[in-house]
Amino acid sequence: MNIHPVFALLLLGHVLGDFYLQSDDMAEKKKPSLKWLIMHGIIYAACMAAVLFGGIEYSCNLLWVFLAASILHLAVDFFKCKWFAEHKKIFSIDQLIHIAILALIWFAWGQDLTARGFVGYQLAHLPKSLLLIVLGLLCIWRPIGSLIKHGDIWDLSKNGDESDGTQKGAGKMIGYLERTIVLFLLLYGQYGAISFVIAAKSVIRFPEISQANQKRALAEYYLIGTLLSMTSVFVIAVLLGLIKT
């Protein structure tokens, strides 16, 4: 499948504004505080403006796309923070709503918009656009890490042990590197090599799993987390048109 350039840029603006320019601290502070919520909305709008006006030929429809994306994002976040801030499964639902809104905005005003310059050339002429690869990397790092962390698909918190003496943040970095390697192996069609990534991780983790008191629970925790991580990379690569199925 080939993703439309305008929708790709909308996703890029969303990922940058909602994940990379919003810290975990800001995400928590905006729940009870209107000031932090508005600050997030301004930052999100600035990301959307930079991406959309920088990569698309200007028209009235482009202005409507920018305004709708910025205002509706803030409205959804306000609704979520006011009524559903403590809901355990709200993260994935929230993101699905945001993406659905972006899709509707694109459908309403974005189909006739034209990407310009480097962005237009990349998406129109190259089979594996640099922009889509960057978007893929940005999606598999913080967004997928947050999805796994929040336990919306599968709650890993009951089996995980963060007090095992490992370096703080090491697990997160391992996840980033693992998903990056898998994405590039998919890009170049080296599907068999993905098994070596899983094998290497298993060899490193084997002593920890085999010596644990609750080794079955830890093994399941490791296996589910790894498979979620791998599956997410594959799904994103397919949705962005980086690999053909």
* Secondary structure (DSSP) of 136-182: HHHHHTHHHHHHHHHTSSS--TTT--S-SSPPTTHHHHHHHHHHHHH
Q: Are 66 and 52 in contact (CB under 8 A)?
A: yes
What is the pLDDT at residue 129?
80
The two three-digit tokens of residue 65, written as one number = 């796309």
The two three-digit tokens of residue 136, written as one number = 């893929």
| DSSP code of residue 152 | S
In 3-state terms, what secondary structure has residue 240?
A: coil
Nearest Cα residue to 43 out of 85, 73, 80, 79: 73
- Burial of 69-93, coded b for 16+ CB within 10 Å and e otherwise, reads bbebbbeebeebbeeeeeeeebbee
Rg, C-alpha atoms of the chain: 20
What is the pLDDT at residue 228?
86
Q: What are phi and psi of 230, to 5 degrees?
A: -65, -45
What is the pLDDT at residue 92?
86
Q: Quote the pTM value.
A: 0.85
Question: 115 has which bridge partners?
Answer: 56
> From CA 121, how far away is CA 5, in angstroms rounded?
10
Question: 56 has which bridge partners?
Answer: 115
What is the pLDDT at residue 209?
56
Q: Which residues of the chain have pLDDT under 70?
A: 1, 85-89, 120-128, 151-169, 202-221, 244-245
